[in-house]
Amino acid sequence: MSVGIALSGGGIKSFSQLPVLEALHKKGINIDYYAGTSMGAAIAALAASGLELEVMIPLALEVEELLLKQRVFSRPSLRMLPFSKNKIHAGYVDGEVIETIIDPIFQEHGISNIRDVKVPLAIPSVDILTGKLIVFVSHPELFNAHKDWIVISDVKLSLAVRASCSFPFIISAVPYDNYLLTDGGVKMNLPLDLVEAYGATKTVAVTMHQDSDFTEYDRIQPLANRVMDLMAGSKDELVVGRADVHINIPLNDIWVFDIGKGIDTITAGEQIMEEYQKSLETLIKKPTFWEKLFNLV
């Protein structure tokens, strides 16, 4: 039996996925394949790099603090101006700043290229120019790609994460080779297909969709977040039924770019996981008759 986990996009809400990984670890469930979209890609990349959870949670909060201090999401980059050198495209936040923040974290743990990760990893992005799904893959020899996917396996991990996190209209798209890459959530918010392409026989899908009515329709940012959430939710519904375990963490009062609420999302994740303990037990390998007989487990 092999277990794959698919972490959906959700900006700061993806911090709630950390307690999911913690709950799986406590149950003794090892993850054999990781896939993550947008901020879920960052969480998946950290986990696939072999970082312990007691390291990952403080690291995630440290990155959040850096984003706050540098006011990354509150100040438009001058590089969006038409006359600027190295003009950014499709967003007002310079995504290169995000890559600059996360790259040293991977480097510190001996990870530069996506191929350096300890556990097979897949990260989706979308080429704005052609509309093709670009999949960054750490172990291409294990990955059975769909014929329409473009697979890239030789790339800096920080760039792959940045590309998948390039939220449309907000974070600038990433020029890479002949592509202009944007958020993987545009086509694949829940990358369940990617862990299945690795051959996972048991799968976990993690989403963060609201389960209450929306009321902040007079505020542009929460409204934009709500629209994207509805679009992502519709796509997720098409695939989530295939997962052996589906965990949804409904963060109704937190939107994608609520930087500063990371600890709140982690707490919410911890609370919701109390409801999923029994579901996780379906992922625990039960010994066969022969294994019991010969004391092989």
Q: Residue 106 in 3-state DSSP? A: helix
- Domain of residue 284, CATH code: 3.40.1090.10
Start-to-end Cα distance in the chain: 14
For each successive 10 residues of the chain (297 residues), what is the average pLDDT? 96 96 96 98 97 94 91 65 61 84 95 98 98 98 97 98 92 94 95 98 93 61 66 78 96 86 96 94 76 62
The pLDDT value recorded for residue 295 is 66
Q: What range does the domain containing 146 cover?
A: 3-293
The helix, strand and coil proportions of the chain, stated in percent and rounded to the nearest 5, come to 45, 15, 40
Length of the chain: 297
CA distance 111 to 278: 35
Neighbouring CB atoms inside 10 A of 284's CB total: 12
Question: Is 258 assigned a catalytic role?
Answer: no
Question: Is 125 assigned a catalytic role?
Answer: no
Catalytic entry in 32, 103, 183, 193 = 183
Catalytic entry in 16, 38, 125, 172 = 38
Total structural domains within the chain:
1
Distances from the Cα of 45 to the Cα of 35, 76, 136, 190, 272, angstroms: 8, 27, 11, 15, 23
CA 119-124-129 angle, 5° bins: 150
Element (H, E) at 290: helix 289-293
